[in-house]
Amino acid sequence: MFPFPNLNTKTLKPVVMPRSSALASGSIIQNRYRIVREIGSGGFGRTYLAEDLNRYSEHCVLKEFVPQSQSHKELGKAQELFQREAGMLYHLQHPQIPRFRELIQSNSEGNDSLLLVQDYVEGLTYSQLLGQGQRFSEAEVVQLLRQLLPVLEYLHSQQVVHRDISPDNLIQRSSDSKPVLIDFGCVKQVAVTATSNSQIGVVGTVVGKKGYAPDEQLREGNAYPSSDLYALGVTVLVLLTGKEPGDLYNISRGTWNWQQEVSLSSTLNSVLQKMLAYRPRDRYQSAKEVLKALGTYNPSHKTSAPVVTRPQPAQPKSILSPAHTLVMAPGKKILTTFTSFFQKKQQSTGNELQVIRNVMAIALLTIIAIVAVTKLGSFLFELPKFKLPEIPQLPEIDLPEIDLPNEPSPSLNSSEQERQQKIVERIQALNQDEGSFYQQVNDLFYAQHPEIQGRSLTSQPEDAQLRQDWYQIAEELLERLEQG
C-alpha cells in the first residue's frame, strides 16, 4: 500500500467516542476548513459542505467518520482500517472520481473524530433527478453505461470495488453532464468492521443498499467487480422505469421483471439480463466485457458526441448525376458508390441482379438508338465527339493527432493557445517526459470518451468541447504531479 500524504499514524490519537451532534455551520476545522452546512448523514457518519480557506474559499466535502462502536479497542482498529482505505483512495486518479485530498483529525466538544477531505462536485444526484420527475430513455442509459463502465474498469484495475453503486451515489456533473461516482463503500466497511467486531451476533457486512447490492454482498460480505456491475444494472432499471428495485424484482421466482414497465431493444435486454444474473460467475466479469457486448450498438435518438463534418469538393456539371461518396475511416481513401457497389456485387440478391440486367438492357437500347440517329443525320451536320468527364481523385482524410503540440495551433483562438502554452510550460517545469505525459492524458481521455475511441481530435469548432475535456484532464494530472 502506498503511503498516505499528510498522515502520521503515530501522531493520531485513538478516537475517544463517536460524535453525537453535527458540526456547527461556521466552525473551522484545523484552521483551514470552514463548515458551510451538513449535506448528508447515515449510520456511518455525516457529510459536510465546507470552504477551503487555503484555496480562496474553494468548496470541498468533509466526510466525518462516526463508527457505531464506542469501545476504545474497536475504535482504534477502525481508525487503522480507515487510514488504510483513505490511503488507497488518495491514489485514485480519474476525472469522474472526486479527488481525495487528505485525512485529518478533529476535536470538538471533547470528542475526536476523523474526517476525509475530497473535492466537491457541483450537480444533482441521479436520485434527485428522478425526484424531479425526470425519466431516462434507452439512449440516455446506454450513454450512461458508456461513460461509467470505463470508470469501473479503472477502479477494478486498481483492486478497488465500489460496493455501493446506486442513483444516490452518482452525480450528474453540472459542467459537462457526465456521471461522477461518489461515496465508496470500502470506507463505510470500516464502520461495519468496528460494529461487527464489538457486537455479538453481527455477521458479515451491510455495506450496499438493499435492492441494489447482490446477494453475495449483503449476506456473505463478498464483493467482486461483478457485484458492482450488478448494482449498475439495477441502477439502469430504476432510471428507465422510475420504480424502486423492490417493485421490479419477483421474490418468489428470483427474477427481474422490467419488460412490463419499459420496452427495450434486444441488445440492451440481453446485456441487462447478464449483468443481473444471480450467481456472480454467470455475470460479466469485467466492465470491459459489458462495453464489448454493447459494441457499436446505437439506440435510436441517441445523443452522441459531435460528428466532424468536412465540405466535399464540388462535382463538375455533367449529363450524369453527381456521384455520391462514402466516407471511410480517417486515413483511408474516399470510395465512390460505384467502387463500393462492385466490391459488394457478390452479395447481391437475385432481385438486385435482375434490376442490373434491366438497367444494362435499357442502356444498350439507348446506345443503339443514339448510333442510329447519328448515322441518319450525318449528312446534315457532324456531331462533336462526346467524352465523359473524369471523376476527380479526392484527397485522403488525415485528421491531426490528439497529442498536445509543442507549439499551440495557430488556428485556435488566443485563449485556447494560451491554455496550451501553460500546459507545455508546466510539463517542462516538472521535467516530465512530454511523450509519456501526453500518453497518460490520452488514456484517461479515451476512458472518459469511449464513444470516439480510435479517432483523433481536430482544431475545428465541432471538437471544441472535447478539446476542453482533454485540457482539463491534463491540468488535473499536472496538479497532482505538482503536489507530489
Residue 443's identity, in one-letter code, is D
Q: Where does the pLDDT of residue 283 fall: very low under 50, low under 70, confident under 90, or very high at 90 and above?
A: very high
What mean pLDDT do residues 285-299 have? 90
| Fold classified for 125-185+203-294 | Transferase(Phosphotransferase); domain 1 (1.10.510)
Report which listed range, 170-179, 180-189, 197-206, is most confident: 170-179
Written as nine digits, the cell of 191 is 464502520
Q: Which of 129, 152, 131, 153 is nearest to 140 (CA)?
A: 129
pLDDT score for 36:
96
Which of 227-231, 266-270, 294-298 comes out lowest in average pLDDT?
Answer: 294-298
What lies within 8 Å, CB to CB, of 64 at 6+ separation is: 19, 23, 45, 46, 47, 48, 106, 113, 114, 115
The yes-or-no verdict on residue 68 having pLDDT over 90 is no
Chain segment 412-447, per-residue pLDDT in tens: 788 888 898 889 889 888 888 777 788 788 878 887
The yes-or-no verdict on residue 52 having pLDDT over 90 is yes
Percent of the chain surpassing pLDDT 90: 33
Comparing 368 with 69, which gets the higher pLDDT? 368
Mean pLDDT rounded to a whole number for the chain:
74
CB-based contact 461:306 (threshold 8 Å): no
Q: Which of 94, 100, 211 is nearest to 155 (CA)?
A: 94
Residue listed under C-alpha cell 465508496: 184
Comparing 396 with 39, which gets the higher pLDDT? 39
What mean pLDDT do residues 117-134 have? 93
| Fold classified for 28-119 | Phosphorylase Kinase; domain 1 (3.30.200)
Q: Which of 357, 145, 356 is nearest to 231 (CA)?
A: 145
The yes-or-no verdict on residue 286 having pLDDT over 70 is yes
Written as nine digits, the cell of 291 is 462495453
Q: Is 164 a catalytic residue?
A: yes
Q: Which of 417, 395, 399 is nearest to 408 (CA)?
A: 417
Q: Which of 52, 164, 228, 469 is catalytic?
A: 164
Q: How many CB atoms lie within 10 A of CB 417?
A: 15
The three-state secondary structure class of 170 is strand
The yes-or-no verdict on residue 121 having pLDDT over 80 is yes
